[in-house]
Amino acid sequence: MLANFSIIPLGGGESVSKYVAKVIDIVDRSGLNYQLTSMGTLVEGNWDEVMGVIKKCHNVTRRLVPRVYTVITIDDRKGAKGRLTGKVKSVERVLKREVRK
């Protein structure tokens, strides 16, 4: 499955990049495929792998600030793998087909 998550620390000021850096470090060490965007982190794996990483990221942030707000979206499709790049390619194929018409 594919997940996108954002961890928002409350009570630690408006800049969050120092917390994001800790989170990315955890994701990077997990060995899972991931992508960092301006609005969150995409990660691919099974439920326990993905949720294990998000739990660590959430907890490390909660130790630094008194309140954490976390948003997770999951897209889980039967038999689908390599979707971190595959989904974008699939849309690009459709776009090219449309243009050809």
Report helix, strand or coil for 89: helix
Using rule CB under 8 A, residue 27 touches a second copy: no
Which 68-87 positions form the footprint of a second copy (CB under 8 A)? 68-78, 83-87
Among 10, 29, 31, 64, binds a second copy (CB under 8 A): 10
Give the CA count within 13 Å in the CB-facing half-sphere of 3.
22
For residues 41 and 58, give the distance between their C-alpha atoms in angstroms, rounded to a whole number: 13
50 is a site residue for a second copy (CB under 8 A) = no
Give 53: exposed, middle or buried? Use CB within 10 Å, 0-12, 13-18, 19+: buried
Residue ranges that bind a second copy, judged by CB under 8 A: 2-4, 6, 8, 10-11, 13-14, 16-18, 20-21, 24-25, 35-40, 42, 47, 51, 55, 58-59, 62, 65-78, 83-88, 90-91, 93-95, 98
